[in-house]
Amino acid sequence: MRDRKGGGAVPGEPLLDVRGLATYFWTEDGVVKAVDGVSFQVFPGERFAIVGESGSGKSVTALSVMRLVDRPGKIVAGEVFFEGRNLLELDEEEMQGVRGAKIAMVFQDPMTSLNPVFTVGHQIMEAILLHQKVSKAEARDRAIELLKEVGIPRAEERIDDYPHQFSGGMRQRAMIAMALSCQPRLLIADEPTTALDVTIQAQILELILGLSEERGTAVILITHDLGIVAGFAERLMVMYAGKVVESGSVEDIYYHSLHPYTWGLMGSLSRLDMKRKDRLEPIPGTPPSLIFLPPGCPFHPRCRYRVEQCRVETPRLLPYTDSHWVSCHLAGEFLEARAGKEGAV
């Protein structure tokens, strides 16, 4: 199952199966519908990406899966099946057995997710001792091994360093070591390289990719960067205003996208690998307020293909091929138009 590439029919049982997830935040200004009816599946060993701009709900989706949403936020609907159990029905103690041990998470800013007053080694050992029945000495050996595995030079010495003695890239490596300490089946990486420079970003992505392949760990990569997804993920979903607008294999989305928002994202990119085109084609306007969502399709105010139906009826996420799901009233027409064009050629 692990060598499944890209699209095609999906074999086997999903590792993670999220159905109709909705997470709202109660603020002074009103109810923020950060995640509003999100469904997706991640298969064992798979690398899946959630792509979206700020406020699209991609991070809240991940936090909801981990059940780390705090007041004033609340998961209001949906199911999150992991290895067949609905995580939303577990009590806090059971959930702690999942968090860190079976599903681990790496965050954007490693400086704020590491505790500055404890050594790096102490924090990794803590994670090991919490979930595994080993002695302190064994945990320390294991932590050194992990630091070596994530490419920290002189791990035997560096294990006693404090986080501030590590560079940004090394801190992120330490976070990954900690996340992998209990051999989770799923690693959620929330913008793991956004704070890093491009040469360090390449190192970290290579590291996560290699570890995922070696260990068969499934990875959910959350990012706004369509460039890093292209080289990292097998499948992805694109989110906008708390909803999934499109999901499929990287080929489906990068070469055969059927959603105007995805086209808009691609048209907005200044490409490093292409000679300058005349003008970028940005998406007009700004994303909607998540408190006062427009009726119908949340993207319709910025969409140049909108028809009357888009203003009144919210489109559902529907399959157009085995692997490619789209939430747009016009997706069928786009598909036909493309088939017509290809037929003519």
Which spans of this chain sit near other proteins (rule: CB under 8 A)? 53-54, 167-170, 197-203, 205-206, 224-231, 250-251, 254-255, 264-274, 276-277, 279-284, 286-287
**3-class SS at 22?**
strand
Q: How far is the CB of 261 from other proteins (least distance, A)?
A: 9
Q: How far is the CB of 101 from other proteins (least distance, A)?
A: 31
Q: Which is nearer to other proteins, 30 or 231 (CB)?
A: 231
Q: Are 241 and 288 in contact (CB under 8 A)?
A: yes
Residue 180 neighbours by CB distance under 10 Å:
22
Q: Which of residues 183 and 268 has its CB atom nearest to other proteins in the complex? A: 268
Tokens of 221: 């990569």
Chain mean position to CA 131: 25
Q: How far is it, in rounded angstroms, from Cα 326 to Cα 248?
A: 9
Pairing of strands 186-190, 16-27: unpaired
Per-residue burial over 302-327, b if 16 or more Cβ lie within 10 Å, else e, is bbeebeeebeeebbebeebeebbbbb
Provide φ and ψ at 42, rounded to 5°.
Answer: -125, 135
Q: Which tokens belong to 67?
A: 């059940």
Strand partners, 248: 236
When the beta carbons of 86 and 167 are compared against other proteins, the nearer one is 167
Q: How far is the CB of 230 from other proteins (least distance, A)?
A: 4
Nearer to other proteins, 136 or 271 (CB): 271
Strand order of the β-sheet with 47-51 is 103-106, 186-190, 218-223, 47-51, 235-240, 243-249, 325-326, 318-319
> Maximum Cα–Cα distance for the chain, whole Å?
70
What is the Rg, in whole angstroms, of the alpha carbon atoms belonging to the chain? 21
* CB of 136 vs other proteins, minimal distance in Å: 31
CB atoms within 10 A of CB 200: 17
Residue 135 or 270 with smaller CB distance to other proteins: 270
The token duo for 153 is 């030079």
CB of 253 to other proteins, least distance (A): 9
For the bound state, the minimum distance from the C-beta of residue 70 to other proteins, rounded and expressed in Å, comes to 24
Between 230 and 312, name the residue whose CB sits nearer to other proteins: 230
Cβ proximity to other proteins: between 71 and 164 the closer is: 164
